[in-house]
Amino acid sequence: MPESVAKRLRALEDREAIRELIARYGPLADSGDAAGVAGLFAEDGVYAVGGMGEAKGRAAIAALISGPVHQSLMTDGCAHILTSPVIELDGDCAVARCHSIVFRHEDGEWAPVRVAANRWVLARGAAGWQVARRDNMLLDGSGAARLLLS
């Protein structure tokens, strides 16, 4: 295989893998798969959720899903929506940016209870692409949230 073909295939596959990794978050979260969500992250990955603190490591991230806030959301009915990310690849590292929306069900209606900016730092390890850090901040007029997208 010519080197140029290998390099171009690899770049396409990397972008596809990262898009898939991010797309998996919503279905895993909404089906309550705490281990699955944690497994998107590296062992020492960090998930900083705007207004809800910072979870460091897979056990802490799994606890976000198995904890009372998320379980209450699931009982009511919820959807964690993520938009198709903008991806900057740099060898074995990448940064991706996208929006997220959490819809919560109540009395036959759904409300967008969180609309947020997301910045993902990703790294390729032995197990493939994983999330090193996800920062999530509410788009409520805060300049810090806008910075995540720039």
Binding footprint of a copy of itself on the chain (CB under 8 A): 1-2, 4-5, 8-9, 12-13, 15-16, 19-20, 23-24, 26-28, 30-33, 74-87, 97-99, 101, 103, 105, 108-113, 115-117, 138-142, 145-147, 149-150
Q: Which two tokens stand for residue 10?
A: 């690899």
**Nearest distance from residue 102's CB to a copy of itself, in Å?**
10
**Nearest distance from residue 56's CB to a copy of itself, in Å?**
26
**Nearest distance from residue 6's CB to a copy of itself, in Å?**
8
**Nearest distance from residue 41's CB to a copy of itself, in Å?**
17
Euclidean distance between CA atoms 128 and 101, whole angstroms: 27
The residues, ordered by sequence, that sit 6+ positions from 123 with a Cβ below 8 Å of its Cβ are 42, 92, 93, 94, 129, 130, 132
Nearest to 63 by CA among 44, 26, 101, 37: 37
Give the count of beta carbons closer than 10 Å to the beta carbon of residue 129: 22
The DSSP output letter for 73 is H
